[in-house]
Structure 1
Amino acid sequence: MKFFYVLIFTFLFTINSQSQQVFSKKEPFAHTYSIVARDTITGEMGVAVQSNWFSVGSLVTWGKAGVGVVATQSFINPSFGPRGLALLENGLTPDLALKTLLQLDESREVRQLAILDVHGDVAAFTGKNCIEAAGHIVGDNFSVQANLMEKNTVWPAMAEAFKNAKGSLAERMMAAMEAAQKEGGDIRGKQSAAILVVKAKSTGNSWEDKVVDLRVEDHKNPIEEMRRLLTIHTAYEFMNQGDLAVETGNNALAKEHYMNAQKLNPDNLEMKYWYAITLANNGEMLEAKNILKELFKKNNKWKVLTPRLVKPGLLTISEKELQEILNL
């Protein structure tokens, strides 16, 4: 317990010695709606946001596998992201981390902040000077928060949508975002959005710790675009699983994964190509050739690529079968 208080004192002293955070007109805006949440099955943690401001995800959304996630918005104090995660990593609860950060900030009443940790504990704050409509709701393993909204029904709609949604954590957070926009969203309009999901436990490799990391920096319908990107992301996850199955020689499983990818992204030529290659490796040459013939008509470079797959072992058919494909 003594170490616990020493940790807080050290953190406070370090930050105060650098300078207290005071609101400035130069600080970035992120009048917005967001959600921080944890999946109780996988333990994954996520944060999602939308705003009528360029590249909102670059400052609002913060997360670290095995630690937690942070959303810092309204008149943003960007330091709340990395410092909040550092406090969680050093053993503070979200509530104590939030109070520590706000205590150091003389402009706390224009801030909005939400912090969630690896256990699903959550703390949120809406300053009394945040532009209305503004508020937050803390629920079981999640928090929704919004400011400068058209109506004060936005964040309650987000909470209900998240609780009732099915699917992955990213999909459930996406449902909350869509509910917010349907309810009116940001009174100024819409421009950018972001979704970040990190793993429950760190792998030790930062590039493996992010499950989803998507941004829409500038778009007339950022939530719709984010939904499209999330669908494509899921499709490529199936492609990645298919590639892994190919590496282990399980072409039947690869075929299944590639088919699932195509269902989500049916117009993607590359997904069709690798599905056809897998069919050929499985001995299903007739179906493979039908698909490849159509692909070659649309872009002959797929035909040029095909014989190059033999050397690395990605195409394991006979020379005769290869020539049949190249003669399509």
Structure 2
Amino acid sequence: MTFSIIGYDPEEKEWGIAVQSKFLAVGAVVPWAKAGVGAVATQAFANTAYGPKALNLMEQGKSAEEALKIMTEEDPDREQRQVGIIDANGNPASFTGDGCYNWAGGITGRHFTAQGNILVDQRTVQEMAIIFTKTKGSLAEKLLAALQAGQQAGGDSRGQQSAALLVVKEQGGYGRFNDRYIDLRVDDHPEPIKELIRIYELQQLYFSPSRPDKIVPLDGEIRDSVEQELTRHGYANSNPLVDEDLFSALTKYIRTENLEAREQAQGHIDTDVLDYMKRQK
């Protein structure tokens, strides 16, 4: 009932999964990952024990192929399962049982595995494989691009409902307290992949550090735009503002909108913050 892609970034040491399904809250069932160990997608008549079990086997030193073999051999209902695995070194493995509903199958390649069942046809996984390989950028961006390409190629034959993106990285989580670098879910939506991409972009705005080329002085046209937006959003009552009032209003806006990661030294602004202000209604 699902199509997914698992990938590995050897430079950033990230493991991740993107998935979509005509199924409520697919992110609560399919994706499993642990930094330094690997990632798993368990689907079709999903055995959710495959997630923690595969991670445990790989943490003990088993490869993706070895973990997959052990799990499926022990499972009397394996022919109804579909699973993809990437191990700590980025080696992929994929299994589709003969009892999975057509079209069902998977493709593995360098640092990725793509799989799906109840698909329109095989083009969904083929396009995911092609786009993941071709796309430049972060692992999350590659996974999302591949997922979107899979949907455009046909996707789940029953339609869309939910999607999820999970990327793990050592100390990548909030406050560096865990490995959940990106953990986003769209549980019920008519266009879940489009919505997942939208909230991913918000996640990056909230939590990614500012790029140096985006930090500019608060003067000239930039200052005029900031004043206009602060007034429009109710953070200022007059225009023009003296420096002290402008800086105070901007600080209040940034902290109200949870954009502290983008806050700059007084007299400067990250233009991504200004762009966000302009997009807000």
- TM-score (normalizing by structure 2): 0.79
Q: Determine which structure has the larger strand proportion and give its number.
A: 2
Secondary structure of residue in 1 paired with 2:217 = helix
TM-aligned CA distance change 1:155 to 1:307, over 3 Å = closer
* Structure ranking higher on relative contact order (CA contacts 8 Å, 6+ apart): 2
1:295 aligns with 2:263: no
Cα distance between partner residues in 1 of 2:225 and 2:214? 17
Cα distance between partner residues in 2 of 1:302 and 1:214? 34
Partner residue, 1:147: 117
**Which residue identity does 1:162 align to in structure 2?**
F
Secondary structure of residue in 2 paired with 1:241 = coil
Identity %: 38
1:53 aligns with 2:41: no
TM-aligned CA distance change 1:96 to 1:228, over 3 Å = same
Aligned length: 248
> Cα offset for 1:45?
1.1
**Which residue identity does 2:86 align to in structure 1?**
L
TM-aligned CA distance change 1:316 to 1:142, over 3 Å = closer
Equivalent residue for 2:201, pick from 209, 231, 241:
231
5 Å matches for 1:8-47? 31-47=1-17
Cα distance between partner residues in 2 of 1:305 and 1:99? 63
> Cα offset for 1:209?
2.0
1:96 aligns with 2:66: yes
Mapped contact 2:32–2:41 kept (Cα < 8 A): yes
Mapped contact 1:66–1:202 kept (Cα < 8 A): no
Secondary structure of residue in 1 paired with 2:44 = strand
> Cα offset for 1:144?
0.5
**Which residue identity does 1:116 align to in structure 2?**
I
1:241 aligns with 2:209: yes
Cα distance between partner residues in 1 of 2:236 and 2:147? 39
Mapped contact 1:109–1:126 kept (Cα < 8 A): yes
Cα distance between partner residues in 1 of 2:130 and 2:30? 23
Mapped contact 2:247–2:266 kept (Cα < 8 A): no
Cα distance between partner residues in 2 of 1:57 and 1:302? 41
> Cα offset for 1:315?
6.8
Deviations 1:137-156 (A, max 9, x none): 11111100010001122211
Partner residue, 1:266: none
5 Å matches for 1:197-212? 197-199=167-169, 201=170, 207-212=177-182
Mapped contact 1:124–1:138 kept (Cα < 8 A): yes
**Please, what is the CA RMSD of the aligned residues?**
2.6
TM-aligned CA distance change 1:33 to 1:203, over 3 Å = closer
5+ residue gaps, structure 1, are: 1-30, 246-252, 259-277, 318-328
Q: Determine which structure has the larger helix proportion and give its number.
A: 1
> Cα offset for 1:300?
2.1
5+ residue gaps, structure 2, are: 238-244, 253-262, 268-281
Partner residue, 2:156: 186
